[in-house]
């Protein structure tokens, strides 16, 4: 069977590894490979199996394993499927774009991702009529498409990894360690702590006026409703960490995680700012309860997709 060269358009999400197609964008790809092929389908799931494919002549008399069925595919009719099965992509042929992240790291991705980077091959189902099933668009009346490629890491994964690294590095410094090395570990651990705020998955609180008569341990609470319900917890809590003659100079934040739709796209992603946000003051147990006059700005930057973020390397280079 002769090979073909077939150029086609295909639906793609609003951005690389995105899960929505509200913009109804299309990509263009040229398939180069067999004109027809046999694709193997898992009988239990009706999804494409990792068994690869066979060209028409090879698979004609081939008896599929008991757990699989073979489906004959015309690559002009199903060019996306054949492109996913055939390694027909030259990575250096695709235009890339570079995005500079808040920490200065450059993230490179494709301007027009090919089908391999657009669809999750092994999530595609094939029905009893040997038709490959598309799913509904995220926008009413939009073009159906095969299941989108899934992100290899989400914020939930990134946060767990960060917590693990903080625990792992907790005892890496000793009292007799040289100051320079100790400082490197402190910088590394602070960079881990800063990941959610630096990349927009958590709110930050800036002190715009330190006020007077505050004590270490006092709490400043910002209600969820006063932050347009853009945090997960009922309150964002800022605990006074340091003071200078009663004026707040530093805070420790908790319960400040922004809402997240789980896929780092759309909900909770936009930058937010609440200058002069309303708060309640709660003195520490046994404190003077005399703090007054402090003002704050609550804000977060645009959330960056978790798969773009390069976790800092430890001073010993092992994590």
Evaluate whether residue 129 is within a structural domain: no
Evaluate whether residue 315 is within a structural domain: no
| Coarse DSSP helix, strand, coil percentages of the chain, rounded to the nearest 5 percent | 20, 35, 45
Q: 198, 300 in Cβ contact below 8 A?
A: no
User: What does the pLDDT look like over 68-78, one tens digit per residue?
Assistant: 999 999 999 99
User: What does the pLDDT look like over 105-125, one tens digit per residue?
Assistant: 999 988 888 999 999 999 999
Q: How many domains does the chain have?
A: 2
Provide the domain limits for residue 21: 3-123
Q: What pTM was computed for the model?
A: 0.80
Q: What is the pLDDT of residue 172?
A: 87
Whether residues 92 and 9 share a domain: the answer is yes
Q: What is the pLDDT of residue 111?
A: 83
Q: What is the pLDDT of residue 262?
A: 61
pLDDT < 70 regions, the chain: 1, 87-93, 261-268, 319
Whether residues 164 and 119 share a domain: the answer is no
Whether residues 240 and 283 share a domain: the answer is yes
Question: How far is 193 from 180, CA to CA, in rounded Å?
Answer: 20
Evaluate whether residue 298 is within a structural domain: yes
**Residue 304: which CATH number?**
2.40.10.380
Residues 6+ apart with CB under 8 A from 219: 237, 238, 239, 240, 281, 282, 283, 284
Whether residues 115 and 252 share a domain: the answer is no
Strand partners, 7: 30
Map residue 161 onto helix, strand or coil. Answer: helix
Whether residues 302 and 234 share a domain: the answer is yes
Whether residues 119 and 170 share a domain: the answer is no
Q: What is the pLDDT of residue 51?
A: 82
Whether residues 246 and 184 share a domain: the answer is yes
Q: What is the pLDDT of residue 252?
A: 95
Whether residues 117 and 162 share a domain: the answer is no
Q: What is the pLDDT of residue 91?
A: 56
């Amino acid at each position: 069977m002769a090979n073909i060269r077939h150029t086609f358009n295909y639906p793609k999400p609003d951005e690389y590894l995105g899960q929505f197609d509200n913009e109804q964008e299309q990509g263009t790809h040229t398939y180069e490979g067999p004109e027809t092929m046999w694709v193997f389908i898992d009988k239990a799931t009706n999804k494409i199996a990792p068994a690869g494919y066979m060209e028409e002549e090879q698979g004609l008399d081939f008896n599929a394993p008991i757990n699989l069925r073979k489906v004959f595919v015309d690559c002009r009719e199903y060019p996306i499927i054949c492109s996913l099965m055939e390694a027909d992509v030259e990575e250096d042929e695709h235009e890339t774009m570079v995005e500079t992240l808040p920490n200065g790291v450059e993230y490179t991705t494709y301007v027009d991702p090919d089908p391999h980077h657009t669809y999750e091959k092994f999530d595609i189902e094939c029905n009893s009529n040997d038709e490959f099933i598309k799913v509904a668009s995220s926008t009413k009346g939009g073009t159906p498409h095969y299941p989108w490629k899934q992100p290899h890491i989400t914020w939930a994964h990134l946060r767990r990894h960060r917590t693990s690294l903080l625990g792992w590095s907790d005892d890496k410094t000793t009292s007799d360690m040289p100051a320079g090395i100790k400082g490197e570990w402190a910088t590394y651990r602070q960079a881990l702590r800063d990941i959610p705020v630096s990349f927009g998955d958590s709110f930050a609180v800036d002190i715009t006026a330190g006020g007077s008569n505050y004590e270490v341990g006092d709490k400043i609470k910002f209600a969820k409703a006063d932050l347009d319900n853009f945090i997960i917890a009922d309150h964002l809590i800022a605990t006074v960490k340091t003071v200078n003659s009663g004026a707040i100079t530093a805070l420790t934040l908790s319960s400040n995680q922004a809402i997240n739709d789980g896929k780092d796209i759309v909900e909770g992603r936009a930058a937010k700012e609440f200058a002069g946000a309303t708060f309640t003051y709660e003195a520490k147990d046994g404190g003077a309860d005399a703090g007054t006059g402090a003002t704050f700005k609550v804000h977060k930057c645009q959330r960056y997709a978790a798969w773009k973020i390069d976790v800092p390397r430890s001073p010993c280079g092992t994590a």
